[in-house]
Amino acid sequence: MPAQRRAPADNFDPMAVNLPPRDHNQPPANDDQPSAFDLIKKEIEDLFEEATNWCDGEPISSQEMHDAVEKLYDVLHDAGKRADTLRVAEKKPLDDKIAAIQAAYNPLIQAKRGKVDLGKSELGKLLAVWRKKVADEKAAEAAAKAAEAAAAAQAAQEAIRASAGNLAARVDAEEQLAHAATLQKQAKRADKAATTGLGLRTVWSAKLVDEEAAMEWCWARAKAELLAVAQRNADELVRGGARAVPGFQVVDEKVAA
């Protein structure tokens, strides 16, 4: 409702008006001028305050109220668009600088594409082949030492059993047993050398072999996530025109355009 005009006071003197200063037609200092952000901020905050007055819990009760709310909605929407335009314009110099920096550094350090990653990837392949060869050789050496130690231990045990009543044979068998123990220690060191400090790492992954069992396990583990995926796919179908989706009820709802 427009504000009512006040009646002039009885002692109002139209000549008693302060004259403006001589420089009144000069633009104000930059510090006194509100920025574009200040202006749009005040506009949106004022419109939002007006919106809170309308959104007081009471429904629209007349076409006039509807038209007023619709107008406020449109004005607020337009202010938001203008604010976003200002945001984009204000951010553009920074975006341009960031883009220039990225363009300079991406050929060098961009993930998967930069020269650092590409070079490391190819060098890593060379290293992996050699390290795998060394690892295989050490593994074969460790396996051979383990087999030698196992054979020596078995022979020593057989010699111990066969030396019953023969002191000289018993002494020889004990020496064989001590030698077998030494070989076992060497085999353990060889196995450790074959499995550590090679510059290789073990990568574990799960390979799908039974879809039904996997889905049953996943349903028990992450039911909400699976339902969210199903909901997203169903919504995409309905927005695309489908009016029947297995397991879902297709409903419509009227919302403000």
pLDDT of 209 above 50: yes
Instruction: Tell me what pLDDT residue 8 has.
Output: 39
Beta-ladder partners of 245: 248
CA–CA distance, 249 with 243 (Å, rounded to integer): 9
The stretch 56-61 carries a mean pLDDT of: 92
Stretch 32-48: mean pLDDT: 95
Residue 208 lies in a domain: no
Residue 77 pLDDT > 70, yes or no? Answer: yes
Does 37 share its domain with 105? Answer: yes
Residue 116 lies in a domain: no
- Out of 136-140, 227-231, 232-236, least confident range: 136-140
Percent of the chain with pLDDT over 70: 88
In the structure encoding, which two tokens stand for residue 50, read together?
């007006």
Torsions phi, psi for 81 (to 5 deg): -65, -40
Q: Is the pTM of this model over 0.75?
A: no
pLDDT digit string (tens) for 159-203?
Answer: 888 888 888 888 888 888 888 899 888 888 888 887 787 777 788
**pLDDT for residue 146 is more than 70:** yes
User: In the numeric block, which tokens belong to residue 23?
Assistant: 């420089």
Whether residue 84 sits in one domain with residue 39? yes
Q: How confident is the model at residue 15 (pLDDT cuts 50, 70, 90)?
A: very low
User: Does 84 lie in the same domain as 46?
Assistant: yes
Q: How many residues does the chain have?
A: 257
Mean pLDDT of 145-154: 89
Asked, for residue 202, whether it belongs to a domain, the answer is no
Domain containing 222 equals: 215-252
Evaluate whether residue 141 is within a structural domain.
Answer: yes
Q: What angle do CA 61, 62, 64 make, to 5 degrees?
A: 135
Domain count, the chain: 3
